[in-house]
Amino acid sequence: MNKINFDFKDKTAIITGGAQGFGFDIAKRFLLSGAKVIIWDIDTKMINNAVEKLNNQNLSSNTIDVSNYQEVENCTMEIVKNSKIDILINNAGITGPTATLWEYDIEKWKKVVDINLLGTFNCCRAIVPNMIKNNYGRIVNVASVAGKDGNANASAYSVGKAGVIGLTKSLGKELADKNIAVNAVTPAGAKTRILDQMTKEHVQRMLSKVPRGRFLEVEEFTSLVCWLSSEENTFSTAAVFDISGGRSTY
């Protein structure tokens, strides 16, 4: 696949969940496009592997739990002492177990929503003031087609991602008078490790809903995120961009 080059020179990007999957590929593409990238992830071992693979002097990282606001705020304050934050990719997320709502473990349900939705809120709340100060920012929140359709046996994930869509629309409108764009992307299933958290039956059910008849390739997703994160995106905000292979109907 031919890749369009984006200009992220002199831009600093934070990518949550950046040590693997979507986040890792976004980090790789941002670095190739000249950005300084900071990976936030809860898995120190995965971070170390990612840093070794990417092998770039413009890459740094923090081990952080995005569902813990104090950790997010402290880390943000350290970064803005020496740098501005131009781009935020809220990618960290988990699917949680596959179960009917009435059988769903309450603590596990809460954990899924805390990471997927509260984590996105925490990062936006901590970082947006720096973007306002500099009158520049691009925020991309990784939601899911599940947040629009609702997936059976995945109520926590569906609710969390639906919340991310609502948060995106609210925050985008609040910042619309500034040079700050806030958008969400809603991918269908993709070939990442997140599929390993699901049963084979659940994965097959997801695939059966995609008219393209295949899962999303990570590089396809990254290309959309890059455009939304670039200075070329001067008008779109508070919007939801599908990349679902035809699954979404609205």
Residue 12 confidence (pLDDT) above 90:
yes
Sequence-ordered strand ranges (E) for the chain: 12-16, 36-41, 59-63, 87-90, 137-142, 180-187, 239-243
Residue 85 confidence (pLDDT) above 70:
yes
| Mean pLDDT score of the chain | 93
Pairing of strands 239-243, 87-90: unpaired
Q: What is the pLDDT of residue 228?
A: 98
Catalytic residues: 157
Q: What is the pLDDT of residue 78?
A: 98
Q: Report the interhelical angle of 106-113 vs 155-174 (nearest 10°).
A: 30
| 87 vs 191, more confident | 87
CATH number where 233 lies? 3.40.50.720
Residue 36 lies in a domain: yes
Residue 40 confidence (pLDDT) above 90:
yes
- Copy the structure tokens of residue 57: 């002097």
Residue 250 lies in a domain: no
Residue 3 lies in a domain: no
Q: What is the pLDDT of residue 130?
A: 98
**Mean pLDDT of the region 49-66:** 98
Range of the domain at 93: 12-243
**Mean pLDDT of the region 63-90:** 98
Residue 58 confidence (pLDDT) above 60:
yes
Residue 216 confidence (pLDDT) above 90:
no
Residue 33 confidence (pLDDT) above 90:
yes
CA distances 52 to 19, 28, 40, 187, 224, Å, are 11, 12, 15, 28, 26
> For residue 19, which of 118, 114, 92 has the smallest C-alpha distance?
92
Per residue in 134-173, pLDDT (tens digit) is 999 999 999 999 999 999 999 999 999 999 999 999 999 9
For the chain, how many structural domains are there in total? 1
Residue 221 lies in a domain: yes
Q: Binning pLDDT at 50, 70 and 90, where does residue 197 land?
A: low
The span from the CA of 175 to the CA of 163, in Å, is: 18
Residue 1 confidence (pLDDT) above 60:
no
Q: What is the pLDDT of residue 200?
A: 79
Residue 6 lies in a domain: no
Q: What is the pLDDT of residue 195?
A: 65
Q: What is the pTM of this model?
A: 0.93
